[in-house]
Structure 1
Amino acid sequence: MDNSAARNKWMDREALKNYRHAMRICCMNALHVCSDEALSELCYDLDISRNGDARAYEHLLGGQCMVITSEPGGGKSYLMWLLLRDYLEDCRDDSDRLPVFLDGRDCGIVWDSIEKGIVRALSRHFSLVTEELVRERLRAGGFVLLVDAVDAQSETGSFLLSELYCLGHDTDNTVIIASRMQCDRRDFHSDFVYYTIDPVSDEQIIRWLERDAALRMIGGDERNRSCEIRRMPGRLLEVLRTPLFIRMYAMTAVHSAVHSDDWRILSNHTALLEAYIDMRMKSMSCSPENRDRIFAVLCEYAADSYVNGDSEERFLNWERSEICTQIEAAGFITRRSQTVHFRYSVFHQFFMACYLSGLSAEQLNIWMDAHKSDKRYDESICYLAGILANHCSQNWILDYLEQNNLRLYVKALAYGRNYAASEVNINFEYACHFFARVLRTYESIIQTHFDNIYRLFDGYSIDDTGKVCIRGNMNLRQRTLSVCMYNGSAEAKTLEAVVSGGRGIYRIEDKTGVSFDFEEHMIRNRRAYCYDLDLLTLGPDTAREIAVDMIRDQTMRAMDRKNIFDGHVDVLLAEYTESKLRRLRSKRWTGNSESILTLYTGDYDRIIHRLEQLSVTNIEINVCASLTALIRSRVDDVTELLDIRPDLPQTDLMLKQGRHSDRSEAAYSDRQLLKKIQRIWTLSDDAIRRITTEIVPALSAVRQPARKIGWVCRGDGFSGIRYIEVKTDEGEDISPILEFREDADRIGTFGDLASAADLHGTGQLQRLGKCESDVLREGTSILQRYFGDYVFHSIIYREVKRDFERLFGRR
């Protein structure tokens, strides 16, 4: 690179040395490196190929851009850490390409661009790094970017790929990408070399284990538990997460002497691994001592891999032919999974669900009451709902969740799609049953979880008259399914089902393109949702999912209107009323009412009296009078619920000498600006807390209590806020903390502010007794966001809408 000294003042030799040392430690931890007595690292050969031809690991170190693919759990991450370690050795000074490791799972969550991801990865070691400096070094080709799991986030995967493509094609940076087998090589330019990692055989795994045991690098035995159990080598940890583990369950099925046609599967990990390794090693010349050592380390690893604490022996009776079918139907192998479905804990959850499915209704109700809010059992309960609905024709687990845990109910419905039907017999009886289920679910969820805001949903009237009715139509000719909820009279027919365009067996072979997208139609001033009829083949609980989807859509529409909580939350009501009075003050016929028609005076009677004196009578005046009277009945001092205005008499509204600005915040002094934002944060947090715990309690399951810590930057070039949210425990102070940065005037870019705020944030966390792992999220905002007519509405409804999206899931 040219002029490296001028471009890389932020990268001094000492910082680079510390960075290389820290990243080598990260590599060692990720790889779980094992070495022999001579401290030589044990080799776990990767079966790497290019266009079907075998390639050695050294071929990957040539500095070329490349894509590495494998089946889920095939060792991509392991290989990326190996490459990072070797590229770190080649980076000796600031003129060399700097290796940076990025996790694609964080794209769109922690960072939303390559530059921000690099800044986040480097900021702990290079305090002066900014996005602009990173962008300049990228243009000069000064990085080796290793991006793992690039397709893990379906929403941001294509965006990330396009950025990486441009970097690899248009610059001299080395870009190395790890992706699943499903990634099409045509997505990448010919500049990228395409490598694959082939699956490792069972025999190879056993040979590795036997070698490590013979070298006493995996230690101890079952009889002497005091012996040290060392961590398994990283390569073995990778390959044991592959579908090979599924074969362990199938191959270790124990034939029952009592039921000759049944096979029993060990659901306990220790017994399972012992049986599997014992079976695979019988044909090999492995000494009993080494076999014991292998048993010990594998069983110890399995025991440590889940946190439920349930290690009792349990057996499940299944037909041999159903074993792999059931495991695959549970969703362990999906195109969207990124090795997560091959963890031991997930298998434990699934087999635990199978065990629970054999309990009586009374026993299972007792267990559900004890564990319904324990997130460690989420997977088990979701699998349980699908198993019962598919095999036992029972829906009462979903009925239980529908009433007691809406978050888990929505998640369990999605799991039910793994038990999809290939064909459905559509007739009038089936349609009546289907739409009746939609209606029951719709009413049950609204009356249980949205009782305080039920009037916003279709079928419910403002004056509580009539009843909720449903009209449904299954049209086989047009392949559509339409549902309409409306408020009918007391004598109206609650359910009206129609089957048109023929009837009989409806079959679909390929379900991959089926989604819950709908079209909206208005029929007699009633909203009708029109879905694809193929939804009927997604699973046994499609009717429930349609009801949830309709509730989700209506809720999101209401959140966009930003008015559903105004009658429940005082700060929203006060802001709405003040905005109405402000609009009224702008009318010419209100006369000299500027200082009277405002809640900032706190004089309700004077406002109402002035409204009554106005010669003009219209709906605006009546609304303002009614709203003011409502606030008077609920709030003694409304000024505590309002934003701080600069146009009222204050004591310190002078800007610092020499500062000139035409922005909205220019009328505020530094102290008054802090006070304003502090009040907005405090009132908004209180309102959000009330909405998510009292008005819609179901939202409390998806909102983590947090305390906001922020720093205000105010300069002629930029004005903004940098903040972090720190999780809090019950009883802890949650009032926000806000500070003004005295050195903000010399901060030129927001990237500089971010780095400086990180340093300040560390000190605040220490004072609060927190650490970096307690930080839930971080963000930035411009000061302009805190100025306007509907500041509280914008902040509160935006946050609550995000909670609804977490509850229902994004469409």
Structure 2
Amino acid sequence: MDNSAARNKWMDRKALENYRHAMRICCMNALHVCSDEALSELCYDLDISRNGDARAYEHLLGGQCMVITSEPGGGKSYLMWLLLRDYLEDCRDDSDRLPVFLDGRDCGIVWDSIEKGIVRALSRHFPLVTEELVRERLRAGGFVLLVDAVDAQSETGSFLLSGLYRLGHDTDNTVIIASRMQCDRRDFHSDFVYYTIDPVSNEQIIRWLERDAALKMIGGDERNRSCEIQRMPGRLLEVLRTPLFIRMYAMTAVHSAVHSDDWRILSNHTALLEAYIDMRMKSMSCSPENRDRIFAVLCEYAADSYVNGDSEERFLNWERSEICTQIEAAGFITRRSQTVHFRYSVFHQFFMACYLSGLSAEQLNIWMDAHKSDKRYDESICYLAGILANHCSQNWILDYLEQNNLRLYVKALAYGRNYAASEVNINFEYACHFFARVLRTYESIIQTHFDNIYRLFDGYSIDDTGKVCIRGNMNLRQRTLSVCMYNGSAEAKTLEAVVSGGRGIYRIEDKTGVSFDFEEHMIRNRREYCYDLDLLTLGPDTAREIAVDMIRDQTMRAMDRKNIFDGHVDVLLAEYTESKLRRLRSKRWTGNSESILTLYTGDYDRIIHRLEQLSVTNIEINVCASLTALIRSRVDDVTELLDIRPDLPQTDLMLKQGRHSDRSEAAYSDRQLLKKIQRIWTLSDDAIRKITTEIVPALSAVRQPARKIGWVCRGDGFSGIRYIEVKTDEGEDISPILEFREDADRIGASGDLASAADLHGTGQLQRLGKCESDVLREGTSILQRYFGDYVFHSIIYREVKRDFERLFDRR
């Protein structure tokens, strides 16, 4: 990389050495999750693969742009710190690429652009650094950017990804990205090499622990250590797959080795966190019952994260309210999308949950009413649900969320698995109680959150003739649990519970690795769901999860059929009716009715009269007549709800001179094409808004209000739309904005477009009073997507299905 005078103004040899030394200390703190007696690092060898083939760690040091993915807690952060440490060794002077570590969780909270993030990371050691100097060095390819948790902030993740993509593709910087498995490799240019960290196996975790035991890092006698390690519960193995908890476990184990000879393997998530809290309390010479000191520990961790480990004594003297205020002001209790977070936020959320669990039922109910929709407290509430499930047979926090916040309810259910007993006894009484809970949860969620569309679910007939009934079977021989919902008699509900495949009481051992996958069977026109019986070891709330799983499956099936909202949304009803009339026009016996049997005429009476005149009587004619009459009762001018067609009389359908094409959009002029897409966007957005706020209000919790801005480009090689979605506040105009761009040559056949920053530049965003950090998403679509018989159905149901997927996401 070429030297520059500007760069030398802010980077000198002394400052660079101070930076390298400070970052090496950060790496050491992050990587020393476990040390031997000589305080040397004990590496945790991660299973790295590329396209299914194993790769050694050395393959990652070639200076190429990379994407590293794993399941949540799979070791991405650990690997990123390893890479940072090695890249620091290669940075000797200002002509070398400078390694910088960025945390994606800070995007949109601490910094709103990559340049600002780099300045923040460097400013302590390079006081003269500015955004302009950083941009100059970026253009020259002078950085190694290691960006962890790039998908942690769902609102800004796509914006951050697009910026990193441009840097990796357009400059000589080395860009290394860590993301969860949801990251699609197609989001990145071929310049990025795609690596995966495979989950740590049970055998590998046990080998690590046996290594620690051999080095006398774990308390107790040698025989007891070996025995306990070999009998380690599957639940703890699941927890230890996360490097953060490996570190926490190692610290508690070392503490136990020093202070106690009677050491036992901790059995679950709760025990591990409580042991860690106890260790911290003892190190501060105070008792766990002292709530003020517990919050002091919480504040200590906030300080650790905020100033890189410099804790101050004054935190111990703060009042509880001051501590909470400081933590909130620092942004440590914020929304996070990952399950476990590297920078101690898991402890902050857990301590908050510990405090809440000590409130009375009345106090906690008041607190829940005030904070149920505040996403900053999502994980605290989830931990709280797990803590209460560990101490109470009836988890009323889940009952509360079931009625008031379905999104958080689904997430909290997964947290409860960490607190459950590791084995259960199965008998007829247990089965009756279990299936009764499934039925109660199933009905409660549907009647509370899906009342407007309840007829799509099993057990709810169209004519409301009977009550929802359940038939369940726990088959001990086949190790299956089956559930079937059906519509019974009008007099009473029916609960059929069966325990088959054996006699007496049976015990299931801990099998926490089992998934919630199911098989579906149709028996006498009834859908039966079959699960692995070992799911019962996940805890008392498994029945709730099965009910949610059944609702999720039936909802997704209905979304794929694309008819669930047709009777509620006018634009969908109009498109469906027009498709029925179009099919009717194709029949020979309809005669010369093409100009009459269409909603584009806007003449309802003429359509119905023509249908009555047809000599043939069948169900299609009756359906068309009924649908037309229904639209007439709801909409005065149906033509405003229909797509713009070129085969009807229009005023601006002249092709430009010299343009010849057989594509669908070729029949439209530029102006008419804009009008067509603008109408589709506007009507689709209105329909989606009605569905997510009025018909299924639970979806409003996962949909961020946004305004769509797009640019239409037409070229011989590629015709498409580039668009961005900009975050909007309450009361702001959300109508879409669409423009036509003449510079279609910038779009190649592959669909590569200029960046969002270049597209909107100082234009639309500035006129709207927005900046790049307000861009939620950006993307492209081909024009062909806006042509066809079911344009509105395709767009609306696709978007709403994504909202349902987010609503039912367990993470």
Q: Which digits, 9 at most, give the CA deviation of each residue in 1:596-620, with x for residues without a partner?
A: 0000010000000000001111111
Give the CA deviation at 1:422: 2.0
Quickly say closer, same or farther: Cα 1:123–1:346, change in 2 above 3 A.
closer
- Cα distance in 2 for residues equivalent to 1:269 and 1:434: 24
CA distance in 2, matches of 1:725, 1:345: 30
Q: Deviations over 1:374-425 (max 9, x none)?
A: 1111111111111111212232111111111111110110101112322111
Give the match's secondary structure for 1:67: strand
Deviation at 1:237, TM superposition (A): 26
Q: C-alpha deviations, 1:671-721, integer Å up to 9, x for none?
A: 000000000000000000000000000000000000001111111111011
* Aligned mates of 2:437, 2:647 — CA distance in 1: 57
- Indicate if the aligned counterparts of 2:335 and 2:377 stay in contact, CA closer than 8 A: no
* Counterpart secondary structure, 2:778: strand
2-structure distance, mates of 1:791, 1:303: 53
Q: How many residues align?
A: 811
Runs (4+) off by over 6 Å: 1-76, 81-147, 149-301, 306-339
Residue of structure 1 equivalent to 2:44: 44
Residues 407 and 698, structure 1, Cα contact 8 Å, conserved in 2 = yes
Contact 1:402 1:445 in 2 (8 A): yes
- Residues 522-563 of structure 1 show CA distances to partners (whole Å, capped at 9, x for unaligned) of 222211111110010011100000110010011000000000
Aligned residues of 1:222 and 1:295 also touching (Cα < 8 A): no
Going from structure 1 to structure 2, the CA distance change for 1:262 and 1:58 (only over 3 Å counts) comes to closer
Deviates more, 1:793-802 or 1:496-505: 496-505
Does the 8 Å contact 1:242/1:342 carry over to 2? no
2:486–2:526 CA contact under 8 A, matched in 1: yes
Instruction: Confirm whether residue 788 of structure 1 aligns to residue 777 of structure 2.
Output: no
Kindly state the Cα deviation for residue 70 of structure 1 after the two structures are TM-superposed.
Answer: 13
Alpha-carbon offset, residue 65 of structure 1: 11
- Bigger mean CA offset, 635-644 vs 174-183: 174-183
State the TM-score, normalized to the length of structure 2.
Answer: 0.68
Q: 1:314 to 1:459 in 2, by over 3 A?
A: farther
Give secondary structure in 1 for the equivalent of 2:341.
Answer: helix
The offset of 1:755, in angstroms, is 3.4
* Offset, 1:662: 0.5
Partner SS state of residue 505, structure 2: strand
CA distance in 2, matches of 1:659, 1:802: 38
| Preserved contact between residue 424 and residue 507 of structure 1 (Cα < 8 Å) | yes
CA–CA separation in structure 2 for the residues paired with 1:10 and 1:260: 52
> What percentage of residue pairs aligned between the two structures are identical?
98
1:411–1:211 Cα change, 3 Å: closer
Output the CA distance in 2 between the equivalents of 1:129 and 1:672.
50
Tell which deviates more after alignment, 491-500 or 426-435: 491-500
Q: CA offset at residue 270 of structure 1? A: 22
Shift of residue 52, structure 1, vs aligned partner: 25
Q: Which has the higher contact order (CA 8 A, sep 6+)?
A: 2
Q: Is the 8 A contact 1:268 1:312 kept in 2?
A: no
Q: Distance in 2 between matches of 1:498 and 1:778?
A: 52
1:186 & 1:712 partners in 2: Cα distance? 23
CA spacing shift, 1:576–1:216, aligned 2, 3 Å: same
**Cα displacement (A) at 1:660:** 1.1
Quickly say closer, same or farther: Cα 1:497–1:616, change in 2 above 3 A: same
CA distance in 2, matches of 1:235, 1:305: 28
Contact (CA 8 Å) 2:473, 2:481: kept in 1 or not? yes
Stretch moving more, 9-18 or 582-591: 9-18
Aligned residue for 2:144, secondary structure, equals: strand
**Distance across 1 between alignment mates of 2:538 and 2:204:** 39
Residues in 2 aligned to 1:30 and 1:646: alpha-carbon distance in whole angstroms: 63
Q: Distance in 2 between matches of 1:762 and 1:433?
A: 63
* Cα distance, 1:128–1:270 mapped onto 2, change above 3 Å: closer
Distance in structure 1 (CA, Å) of the matches to 2:737 and 2:14: 34
Gap change, CA 1:674 and 1:234, over 3 Å in 2: farther
Tell me how far 1:275 sits from its aligned partner. 16
- Cα pair distance change 1:121/1:266, threshold 3 Å: closer
Q: Which shows bigger deviation, 392-401 or 575-584?
A: 392-401
Worse overlay, 22-31 or 394-403: 22-31
CA change 1:696–1:752 in 2 (3 A) is closer
1:717 and 1:449 mapped to 2: Cα distance? 47
Q: Taking structure 1 as reference, are residues 470 and 633 closer, same or farther at Cα in structure 2, changes over 3 Å only?
A: same
Name 2:541's counterpart in structure 1: 541
Q: 1:250 to 1:321 in 2, by over 3 A?
A: farther
- More deviation, 208-217/154-163: 208-217
- Given that 1:219 and 1:229 are in contact with CA atoms closer than 8 Å, whether structure 2 keeps it comes out as no
SS state at 1:147 partner: strand
- Describe the shift of the 1:370–1:436 C-alpha distance in structure 2 as closer, same or farther (beyond 3 A): same
Cα distance change, pair 8–748 in 1 and its aligned pair in 2 (3 A): farther
Q: Which moved more, 1:269-278 or 1:74-83?
A: 269-278
Single out whichever of 710-719 and 388-397 deviates more from structure 2: 388-397
Q: CA deviation at 1:285?
A: 20
8 Å CA contact 2:280–2:297 kept in 1: the answer is no
Distance 1:328 1:550, change over 3 A: farther
Offset of residue 233 of structure 1 = 37
Cα distance change of structure 1 residues 453 and 771 upon mapping to structure 2, 3 Å threshold: same
Is the CA contact (8 Å cut-off) linking 2:481 and 2:531 kept in structure 1? yes
Does the CA-based 8 Å contact 1:27-1:81 persist in structure 2? yes
Q: What's the counterpart of residue 424 of structure 1?
A: 424
C-alpha deviation, 1:434, in angstroms: 0.5
Is the Cα contact below 8 Å between 1:420 and 1:537 reproduced in 2? Answer: yes
Q: Tell me, yes or no, if the aligned pair for 2:300 and 2:315 is still in contact at 8 Å.
A: no
CA contact (8 A) 1:32 1:232 kept: no
Secondary structure at the residue paired with 1:421? coil
Q: How far does residue 357 in structure 1 lie from its aligned partner after superposition?
A: 1.6
Pairwise CA RMSD of aligned residues?
13.0
Q: For the Cα contact (< 8 Å) 1:74–1:239, is it kept in 2?
A: no
CA deviations over 1:191-212 (Å, ceiling 9, x no partner): 9999999999999999999999
What CA distance in whole angstroms lies between the structure 2 residues aligned with 1:581 and 1:259? 82
Given the superposition, is the C-alpha separation of residues 118 and 229 from structure 1 closer, same or farther in structure 2, using an over 3 Å criterion?
farther
My pick for the range that moved more, 566-575 or 758-767, is: 758-767
Offset from partner CA, 1:578-608 (integer Å, 9 cap, x none): 0000111111111111110000010000000
> Does structure 2 retain, via aligned residues, the 8 Å contact 1:518–1:530?
yes
Distance 1:742 1:510, change over 3 A: same
On the 8 A contact 2:333/2:349 being kept in 1, the answer is: no
Distance 1:129 1:719, change over 3 A: farther
Q: What whole-Å deviation, never above 9, does each CA across 1:444-481 have from its counterpart, x for those lacking one? A: 00000000000111111111111111111111011111
Higher mean alpha-carbon deviation, 773-782 vs 116-125, is at 116-125
Deviates more, 1:509-518 or 1:280-289: 280-289
Listed as ranges, the matches of 1:296-375 within 5 Å are 302-303=302-303, 340-375=340-375
Indicate the larger mover: 361-370 or 83-92.
83-92
Aligned to 1:733: 733
Cα distance in 2 for partners of 1:476, 1:318 equals 56
* CA displacement at 1:61 relative to structure 2: 7.3
**Which of 19-28 and 227-236 deviates more?**
227-236
Deviates more, 1:278-287 or 1:793-802: 278-287
Cα distance between partner residues in 1 of 2:117 and 2:707:
25
Question: CA offset at residue 89 of structure 1?
Answer: 12
Query: 8 Å contact 1:713–1:719 — kept in the other structure?
Result: yes
Instruction: Answer whether contact 1:222 1:293 (CA < 8 A) is retained.
Output: no
> CA shift at 1:92, angstroms?
14
Q: Given the two structures, how large is their TM-score scaled by the length of structure 1?
A: 0.68
Distance 2:634 2:784 in 1: 31
Larger displacement relative to structure 2 (403-412 or 740-749)? 740-749
Cα pair 1:660 1:716 within 8 Å, conserved:
no
In structure 2, relative to structure 1, the CA distance for the partners of 1:531 and 1:6 (3 Å cut) is farther
* Offset, 1:302: 2.2
| Deviates further, 758-767 or 9-18 | 9-18
Tell me: CA distance 1:641–1:72, structure 2 relative to 1, closer, same or farther (3 Å). closer
- The answer to whether the 8 Å contact 2:64/2:193 transfers is yes
Alpha-carbon offset, residue 502 of structure 1: 1.9
Tell me how far apart the structure 1 counterparts of residues 433 and 557 of structure 2 sit (CA, whole Å). 29
Give, in whole Å, the separation in 2 of the partners of 1:698 and 1:589. Answer: 47
Deviation sequence 1:492-515 (CA, Å, 0-9, x none): 651111111124554444524311
Structure 1 residue 520 displacement after superposition: 1.0
Q: CA contact under 8 A between 1:329 and 1:418: conserved in structure 2?
A: no
Unaligned runs of 5+ in 2: none
**Alpha-carbon distance in structure 1 between the residues aligned to 2:632 and 2:147:** 58
State the partner residue of 1:74: 74
CA distance in 2, matches of 1:128, 1:585: 74
Pair 1:313–1:527, CA change in 2 (3 A):
farther
Is contact 2:426-2:507 (8 Å) kept?
Answer: no
3-state SS of the aligned residue for 2:94?
A: coil
